[in-house]
């Protein structure tokens, strides 16, 4: 059984069949839509450049053709580990031999006056994207709370729709924790060029909605900004309620080992909800990006079938904002690197950035430079001390220069 019919859940069902399992698969999802990918919700679908059908993980008939019992608009309420049963919201129970938790995450809210007013938006599901798309047709100004990936992608969509945008962020720059100051400046400059206003080192004190409809916001520094909608994009929380009530180990997600098994040998976790031990990085990490939902389920399925595969893919994510396309590979926490090295032209936004520690590459971000992720991956996984001057030089091939 798989609980959670997002991309991770759908890929889990696919992996079980691909790996030869011919038994019963039940896939439970609380949305009315069959499994779909989430990146288009803040990118092509939101921009109106793609239909929603393009986001579906599988064609409609795939589930029946592969004997996957897909149950939509169906919520799991409780896991009984001793009986190996899942209780549904309607009180009925389903048996399982092995269980995959792919419950994902939900957007954080901000508990301030006006947080529930008409015009306060979040982005996680297709209905949220539809509401944002409609709002961008109707409003003159949008306040975005949070300068992370979702906030900036929606800001980009809003500006391309001709809507004024103010981004409110508690840090000094967008994406500061994720990228560090050097690379974060690139995204700040990009959005300023496109007309976005930033309000850094401040937060929302109140969403102004005297008649129940958003009319603006008041910041903690006292500034009031007129707006007809507010997007709250301050991150997500992993959906661990089922796991927690089942007394599984939970800490910033469901704790799993490198095989994606929980402390219960009959239960695995994959996708946004899984806080997994990464054998290459040597620590637990939880990654909220598309690539994990795509790739982790194959390992989780293998573990469900009694095999001992481990998940060692490097974290990967991408973004599209205006004319900037970017891919990021690796994992770096603040304070873990001692240098950011740029290769290419930062001013024209055609470059690769590398995060280094002790001369070793920990992560790489290619901006409007393509077909280099495998070479960046080799630099990271090799653990080689690089020639810094050669790494800066675009005329030196990435796959030729590294060893000192």
pLDDT per residue as tens digits for the range 25-81: 999 999 999 999 999 999 999 999 999 999 999 999 999 999 999 999 999 999 999
Q: For the chain, what are the domain ranges?
A: 2-106+236-304, 109-232, 323-392
Rounded mean pLDDT of 288-295? 95
Other Cβ atoms closer than 10 A to 193:
10
Longest dimension (CA), the chain: 67
Phi, psi of 180 (to 5 degrees): 80, 165
For residues 114 and 199, what is the distance between their CA atoms, to the nearest angstrom? 20
Position 401 scores a pLDDT of 53
Q: What is the phi/psi pair of residue 215, to 5°?
A: -120, -10
pLDDT of residue 399: 77
Q: Could you read off the pLDDT of 155-176 as tens digits, one per residue?
A: 999 999 999 999 999 999 999 9
Contact of 51 with 339, CB cutoff 8 Å: no
According to CATH, what is the number of the domain 109-232?
A: 3.50.50.60
Is the confidence at residue 403, as pLDDT, over 50? no
Alpha carbon distance 299, 307 (integer Å): 9
CA angle 221, 224, 230 (to 5 degrees): 105
CB 49 within 8 A of CB 6: no
- pLDDT for residue 260: 98
Q: What's the angle, vertex CA 167, arms to CA 287 and CA 346, rounded to 5? A: 70
Domains 2-106+236-304 and 323-392 share a fold: no
> Strand, coil or helix: what is 201?
coil
State whether CATH 3.30.70.260 applies to domain 2-106+236-304: no
Provide the 10 A C-beta neighbour count for residue 276: 27
Residue 39: strand, helix, or coil? helix
CA distances (Å), origin 230, targets 142, 187, 199, 201, 242: 6, 21, 14, 18, 31
CATH numeric code, 323-392: 3.30.390.30
Q: What's the DSSP call for residue 264?
A: S
């Amino acid at each position: 059984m798989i609980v959670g019919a997002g991309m991770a859940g759908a890929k889990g069902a696919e992996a079980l069949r691909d790996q030869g399992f011919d038994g019963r698969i039940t896939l439970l999802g609380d949305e009315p839509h069959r499994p779909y990918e989430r990146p288009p919700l803040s990118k092509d679908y939101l921009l109106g450049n793609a239909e929603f059908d393009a986001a579906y993980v599988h064609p409609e008939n795939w589930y029946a053709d592969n004997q996957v019992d897909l149950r939509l608009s169906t919520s799991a309420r409780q896991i009984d580990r001793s009986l190996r049963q899942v209780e549904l919201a309607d009180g009925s129970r389903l048996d399982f031999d092995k269980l995959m938790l792919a419950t994902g995450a939900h957007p954080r809210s901000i508990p301030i006056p006006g947080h529930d007013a008409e015009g306060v938006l979040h982005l996680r599901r297709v209905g949220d994207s539809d509401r944002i798309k409609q709002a961008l047709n109707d409003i003159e100004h949008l306040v975005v709370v949070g300068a992370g990936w979702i906030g900036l992608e929606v800001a980009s969509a809003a500006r391309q729709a001709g809507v004024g945008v103010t981004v409110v962020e508690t840090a000094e720059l967008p994406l500061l924790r994720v990228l560090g100051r050097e690379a974060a400046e690139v995204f700040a400059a990009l959005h300023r060029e496109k007309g976005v206003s930033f309000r850094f080192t401040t937060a929302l004190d109140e969403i102004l909605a005297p008649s129940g409809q958003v009319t603006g916001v008041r910041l903690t520094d006292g500034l009031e900004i007129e707006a007809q909608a507010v997007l709250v994009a301050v991150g997500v929380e992993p959906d661990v309620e089922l796991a927690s009530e089942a007394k599984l180990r939970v800490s910033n997600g469901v704790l799993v080992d490198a095989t994606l098994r929980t402390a219960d040998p009959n239960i695995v976790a994959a996708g946004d909800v899984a806080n997994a031990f990464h054998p290459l990085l040597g620590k637990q990490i939880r990654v909220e990006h598309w690539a994990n939902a795509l790739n982790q389920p194959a390992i989780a399925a293998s573990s469900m079938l009694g095999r001992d595969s481990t998940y060692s893919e490097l974290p990967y994510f991408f973004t599209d904002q205006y004319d900037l396309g970017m891919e990021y590979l690796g994992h770096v926490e603040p304070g873990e690197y001692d240098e950011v090295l740029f290769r290419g032209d930062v001013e024209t936004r055609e470059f690769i950035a590398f995060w280094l520690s002790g001369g070793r590459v920990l992560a790489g971000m290619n901006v409007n430079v393509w077909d280099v992720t495998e070479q960046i991956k080799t630099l990271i996984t090799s653990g080689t001390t690089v020639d810094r001057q050669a790494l800066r030089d675009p005329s030196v091939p990435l796959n030729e220069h590294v060893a000192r």
